[in-house]
Amino acid sequence: PVLVLGGMNVTRPNILLLLMDDMGWGDLGVFGEPSRETPNLDKMASEGMLFPNFYTANPLCSPSRAALLTGRLPIRNGFFTTNSHARNAYTPQEIVGGISDSEILFPELLKKAGYINKIIGKWHLGHRPSYHPLRHGFDEWFGSPNCHFGPYDNKQIPNIPLYRDWNMVGRYYEEFNINHKTGESNLTQIYLQEALEFIYSQAVAQQPFFLYWSIDATHAPVYASRPFLGTSNRGLYGDAVREIDFSIGKILNLLNLTGIAKDTFVFFTSDNGAALISAPMQGGSNGPFLCGKQTTFEGGMRVPGIAWWPGHVAPGQVSYQLGSIMDLFTTSLSLAGLEIPRDRAIDGIDLSPVILESKETERPIFYYRGNELMAVRLGQHKAHYWTWSNSWEELSQGINFCPGQNITGVTTHMQVEHSINPLLFHLGRDPGEKYSISVLSTEYEDAVNRISYVVQQHRDSMVPGEPQLNVCDLAVMNWSPHGCEKLGKCLTPPQSNPWKCVWPH
């Protein structure tokens, strides 16, 4: 839509973020998935710009999503824990914290500029009333605050609710079923319909919008609707991917049909790498990369990235830009012609010069796990300051974030510090982080010097936020979500008894 603002003709594109859950870099045909079952996403890439060097901000859901919406590393926006060193933390329903009112989410700014903002799917920035997405910049919501784990007994643990806007409309495994045995659930179809209806009505109203399509069919327990079950060569996980691919085809098609494709910036990505612990039935692929979700190896944090905007992004491009999910904050504001907040550190950069003019910028990628900076990428080099896959104790229980992969001194089962001599890899020659570069080489000296300088600057200016993921309490679970009375679905919470959450990895 072209709006007239302050006498100037400013194009404010619609913004559509297609955020996948636990989908790996290697899950798309265009990124080398051997079964090649994503024709619509592959076509999207061929009509737009592919980002093979795109990263999330954290190797798991909640912190990554908080970083996307705030443009800031989880260490700044509070989505981390200090209960233990370098532990992944998120927002299960016993979490007390969530997104702080002091954080600015970019839909808040878009809203002031006249956008209508909708989230469809998983929120994951806290489920207590003060963390509700409609309090943080969104106008509409259809989806759930937490993962679709369950079923629970509604006595010890309540089932997770789904909301339409302020009110709950049901619970998983009650009104919204997922059959663990067959993997059947029609949720992606529901989320697709929500998206199509929203896009259609905004198009008719010529109303600029931000749609955050945050679906979760590829997060365990993985699901697909009946027409897609058994259609993939990749099992249930592939069925879910096929349904998503189909759905994205429908969404892009609607943008074309309504004539607003040229006014809509679309970006496809994932919140973290594939959960190899759930493979092969419930987990995806990280292609040639090392390990998966929960780790700061490439498999945990490199994610697919595709930009699509007919008439603005030239077709068939590949960008080598190191991109971050946090850049979607800055880029969205930039495309909407809005100022980036100046009262705080913003980690995302504006990708619009990359997308519109193929102008690339050197910038580092910081790989955090909880409160620790584990690794840094600059150019083709990645330096690990700490390595850890998970504990021997977890491993002995069969919990393995790097199945079939074992790099001595790299995929360590102790937290190993390498700050004196960081482990250095060249991700161009060695995307699998198998061959650490000799500390005696000039390549090592040059690269580590450059990276150390960046790390020093980063550390010197770092002001960590208030950690939000330290305290758990059964009383805060989804016992009586807003709107439960009307449905007769209110449950009685236990007495408050907070504890320091335990984060095992």
- Quote the least distance from Cβ 276 to a copy of itself, whole Å: 9
Of 294-353, binders to a copy of itself (CB under 8 A) are 302, 318, 320
36 belongs to the binding site for a copy of itself (CB under 8 A) = yes
Q: Is 502 left (phi over 0), alpha (psi -120 to 50) or beta?
A: beta
Contacted entry of a copy of itself, Ca ion, none for residue 271, CB cut-off 5 to 8 Å set by kind: Ca ion
- Quote the least distance from Cβ 272 to Ca ion, whole Å: 5
* Cα(238)–Cα(262) distance, integer angstroms: 31
1 belongs to the binding site for a copy of itself (CB under 8 A) = no
- Quote the least distance from Cβ 343 to a copy of itself, whole Å: 37
User: Three-state DSSP class for 106?
Assistant: helix
216 belongs to the binding site for Ca ion (CB under 5 A) = no
Nearer to a copy of itself, 92 or 299 (CB): 299
Nearer to a copy of itself, 342 or 429 (CB): 429
61 is catalytic: yes
Nearest to 343 by CA among 112, 152, 25, 72: 72
Q: Which long-range contacts (CB under 8 A, 24 or more apart) does 116-119 make?
A: 116/140, 116/202, 116/207, 116/208, 116/209, 116/210, 117/209, 117/210, 117/211, 117/212, 118/142, 118/198, 118/209, 118/210, 118/211, 118/212, 119/143, 119/212, 119/214
490 is catalytic: no
- Of 31-39, 139-147, 448-456, 486-494, the segment contacting a copy of itself by CB under 8 A is 31-39
358 belongs to the binding site for a copy of itself (CB under 8 A) = no
Nearer to Ca ion, 239 or 271 (CB): 271
Nearer to Ca ion, 147 or 255 (CB): 147
Nearer to a copy of itself, 82 or 231 (CB): 231
- Of 28-36, 167-175, 247-255, 259-267, the segment contacting a copy of itself by CB under 8 A is 28-36
Beta partners for residue 234, in sequence order? none
CA distances from 280 to 23, 222, 235, 288, 300 (A): 13, 11, 8, 16, 16
DSSP string of 229-272, one letter each residue = TT--TTHHHHHHHHHHHHHHHHHHHHHHHTT-GGGEEEEEEESS
- Of 70-78, 179-187, 192-200, 235-243, the segment contacting a copy of itself by CB under 8 A is 235-243
Catalytic residue from among 61, 291, 402, 501: 61
CA distances from 274 to 25, 28, 53, 170, 277 (A): 8, 12, 16, 29, 9
Of 270-299, binders to Ca ion (CB under 5 A) are 271-272
Rounded to the nearest 10°, the torsion over CA 340, 343, 349, 350 is 10
Nearer to Ca ion, 58 or 202 (CB): 58
**Which residue of 22, 37, 194, 239 would you call a contact of Ca ion, by CB under 5 A?**
22
Two tokens, residue 93: 């329903």
428 belongs to the binding site for a copy of itself (CB under 8 A) = yes
CA atoms within 13 A on the CB side of 430: 13
Nearer to a copy of itself, 197 or 362 (CB): 362
* Cα(70)–Cα(101) distance, integer angstroms: 11
Two tokens, residue 395: 């491993």
- Of 9-17, 21-29, 154-162, 446-454, the segment contacting Ca ion by CB under 5 A is 21-29
CB atoms within 10 A of CB 430: 16
- Of 177-185, 269-277, 347-355, 488-496, the segment contacting Ca ion by CB under 5 A is 269-277
DSSP string of 269-287, one letter each residue = EESS---GGGTTTT----T
**# chain residues binding a copy of itself, by CB under 8 A:** 43
27 belongs to the binding site for Ca ion (CB under 5 A) = no
- Quote the least distance from Cβ 239 to a copy of itself, whole Å: 11
Q: Where does this chain bind Ca ion (CB under 5 A)? A: 21-22, 61, 271-272
Q: Where does this chain bind a copy of itself (CB under 8 A)? A: 26, 29, 31-36, 46, 50, 52-53, 232-235, 237-238, 279-281, 285, 287-288, 290, 302, 318, 320, 380, 403-407, 426-432, 434-435
